[in-house]
A and B are shown apart, each in its own frame.
Chain A
Amino acid sequence: MTDTDTDTDTATATTQLDIERIKQDFPLLSKGFHGESIVYLDSAASSQRPSCVIDAMSGYYNYSHANVHRGVYKLAEEADRLYENARITAGKFVGAPDPAREIVFTKNATEAINLIAYSWGMHRLNEGDVVVVTEIEHHANLVPWIMLHKERGVELRVIPMRDDYLLDLDNLEEMVDGAKLVACTLMSNVLGTIPPFKKIADAAHSAGAIVVADGAQLVPHAHVDVKELGCDFLAFSGHKMLGPTGVGVLWGKAELLDSMPPFMGGGGMILDVKFEGIVPAEIPTRFEAGTPPIAEAVGLTAAIEYLDNIGMNNICRHDAELTAYTIDSLKDTFGRDITIMGPDITEDRGGVISLALKDIHPHDLAQVLDESNVCIRAGHHCAKPLMRRLGTSATARASFYLYNDTSDADRLIEALSKAASIFG
């Protein structure tokens, strides 16, 4: 949370969210899908967005659009101002010490992590260098490092998951010993597990490694501050936090970013170009080749303002309460027929519930739930190594956000009961 918001939103003073009021800001949720009320439980894949985000983007396109950088006319200056304001807003949202230099806009969190892997990894990592990841990562924070293993001969070490769905950190010092980079999620998109990131980051730093945080799941749902986390890079995505698709954010420590070569080449990222070579621009524009996602950045600003207005601690508490309510109801209703693949305790987990009901296949479950207009996700959730660890090829996953309430959870359980009776 940013300094300016501490008076309305602190760890001690949280207020109950008025979900009925919040749903009104989301046309899909207040008016329905083809006129039928919908229970949207797939925010971990992508959230819905409030009208104010769409309005901000359409206002920009209607009245303020020009390309950014070096425009001399007032309209272009306005577009520049809006784009740079988005950078500051996104930076402050995650506690960046120097947002104007440390925030790079990408197209999503995946591209942000690829930027680190290509710009930092390809130049700093050599044969035999160690990169540490965890068993619960999303492919976005896994595949780029596996590709480095292939291309640079980098050795990959994997922090395993325990049977209680938390990370096994008993041998943390050994795991990070000699590592050059440690990449870890702030929250699992499958299990909801929130690893003790600070502990991992401290151990990694003691071993001389840099630390990458995949914030795609946690940044939309909780107060995240890069200084408190102790990470060197943080990646997150606009569309999972009420913003538009097509914009992601990379925060990196200024001195690290400054030491890195460009990721992609093109317009906007250079100081000078000769046929013999280029002089890259300063950070962060060095990493933003071509016309950036301007309207999307404007939409992200509106999304962050909306979230700040409600308060990240309020959202976090709401998620936790709704998750606890849902898990209790699931266990009450289905007893031993339900398996929840995620931590039992609420402190170390977010609002993501992967479940198995009897032996009903997740796809069949999602299909039956859709009949009741309950949207959940079924599949491997871009975490195939984790699926293997769980001994399955897919899970059914319900995930919550600030616009869900206990009535949504009740409809989920009602629809699950219907599935149980069909597949009895």
Chain B
Amino acid sequence: MSSSGLEDLYREIILDHYRNPRNRGSMEVPPSQRVEAYNPLCGDEVVVYLLENNGVLEDVRIEGQGCSISQSSASLMSAAVKGKTVEETRKIISDFKKLMSIHESKLEDSTDDTQMDLDLDAMGELAALQGVVRFPVRIKCAILAWNALAQGLDEISDVSTDKTK
């Protein structure tokens, strides 16, 4: 592994979100939704609070502890989805999971978006996490918070379905 791989993993944006996590804290449940994700292998832990109103994630808060990748990914995620609609958020989750499933050999040619079927520019700061795929063991660190977010959205949908019944 060349040292550029490591620089690719620990980009400045990632280290910044690790040192200064955004949207840190908790919210009252209810009205907010609380979801925990835990990686028993390494002890990484992320708690996501979602406050949804009229189909919009009005507020997102993050708690937890773990490695730089799991915690910066949670912070980047909170910044990316706060204020977005539930539908927009689902699209962001789907794009992020695609980013994590790109084979590392395709990264060399990352300017070719058609090959990856992803608009990296549109992903903003989240694209900084693409270096993670070079380190397969760490993908589950990066994806931890996103699994919690996806579960939270499902629970929100369940609640609103119940209400309409």
The contact size tier of chain A is 10 to 19
A174-207 to B contact mask, C-beta < 8 Å, 1/0: 0000000000000000000000000000000000
Q: What 1/0 flags go to A366-390 for Cβ under 8 Å of B?
A: 0110110000001110000001000
Complex CA distance for A209 and B104, rounded to whole angstroms: 57
22 A-B pairs in the complex with CB atoms less than 8 angstroms apart: A361-B66, A363-B42, A363-B66, A363-B67, A363-B69, A363-B141, A364-B10, A367-B9, A367-B135, A367-B138, A368-B6, A370-B1, A378-B42, A379-B41, A379-B42, A380-B42, A387-B43, A393-B43, A393-B44, A393-B66, A422-B10, A423-B10
**B68 is an interface residue with CB less than 8 A from chain A:** yes
The residues of B that contact A394 with a CB separation of less than 8 Å are 42-43
Interface on chain A toward B: helix, strand, loop, or mixed SS? helix
Rounded to whole angstroms, the CA-CA distance of A205 and B41 in the bound complex is 38
- Chain B neighbourhood of A378, CB < 8 A: 42
Whether B42 pairs with A371 at a CB distance below 8 angstroms is: no
Interface-centre pick from A393, A394, A423 (highest chain B CB count, 10 A): A393
Task: Considering the complex, give the chain A residue whose CB is closest to the CB of B141.
Answer: A363
**Beta-carbon contact of B43 and A423 below 8 Å:** no
CA distance A422 to B12 in the complex (A): 10
Residue in contact with B65 in the complex, picked from A367, A380, A393, CB distance below 8 Å: A393
B15 within 8 Å of A (CB atoms): yes
Query: Which residue from chain B places its CB closest to the CB of A422 in the assembled complex?
Result: B10
B45 contact set on A, CB distance < 8 A: 393
Question: A140–B118 Cα gap in the complex (Å)?
Answer: 46
Chain A residues 250-275 with CB under 8 Å of chain B are: none
B115 at the interface (CB under 8 A from A): no
User: CB-CB < 8 A to A370: which residues of B?
Assistant: 1
Complex interface: chain B residues within 8 A of A379 (CB): 41-43
By a CB distance below 8 angstroms, the chain A residues around B141 are 363
Q: Mark B1-27, 1 if CB is under 8 A from A, else 0.
A: 101011001100001000000000000
Q: Are B1 and A371 in contact (CB under 8 A)?
A: yes
B63 to chain A, nearest CB (A): 14
Among the listed A361, A363, A371, A422, which residue makes an inter-chain contact with B5, where contact means beta carbons less than 8 Å apart?
A371
Residue of A nearest to B45 (CB): A393
CB distance from B74 to the nearest CB of A (A): 13
Report the Cα distance A368→B67, complex, angstroms. Answer: 12
User: CB-nearest residue of chain A relative to B68?
Assistant: A364
CB distance from B15 to the nearest CB of A (A): 7
Question: A315-374: which residues lie under 8 A (CB-CB) from chain B?
Answer: 361-364, 367-368, 370-371
Residues of chain B contacted by A363 (CB below 8 angstroms): 42, 44, 66-67, 69, 138, 141
Q: Quote the shortest CB–CB distance from A394 to chain B (angstroms).
A: 5
Complex Cα gap A143–B66 (Å):
25
For the complex formed, measure the closest distance between the CB of B42 and the CB atoms of chain A, giving whole angstroms.
6
* B1 partner residues in chain A, CB cutoff 8 A: 370-371
- Determine the distance from Cα of A370 to Cα of B1 in the docked complex, in whole angstroms: 9
For A360, the closest partner residue in chain B by CB is: B68
What separation, in Å, do the CA atoms of A363 and B70 have in the docked complex?
Answer: 10
A423-B6 in contact given A367-B135, A379-B42, A393-B45 (Cβ < 8 Å): no
> Would A423 and B67 count as touching, CB distance under 8 A?
no
Q: Is B3's CB under 8 angstroms from A371's CB?
A: yes
Chain A, residue nearest B65 (CB):
A393
B9 contacts across to A, CB distance below 8 A: 367
The CA-CA distance from A387 to B45 in the complex, in Å, is 15
Q: Check A364 against B41 for contact (C-beta < 8 Å).
A: no
CA distance A370 to B135 in the complex (A): 11
Nearest B-chain residue to A387, judged by Cβ: B43
Tell me the complex Cα distance, A422–B10, Å: 8
Inter-chain pairs besides A367-B9, A371-B1, A393-B43, 17 sampled, C-beta below 8 Å: A361-B67, A362-B67, A363-B42, A363-B67, A363-B141, A364-B69, A367-B6, A378-B42, A379-B41, A379-B42, A380-B42, A387-B43, A393-B45, A422-B10, A422-B15, A423-B10, A423-B15
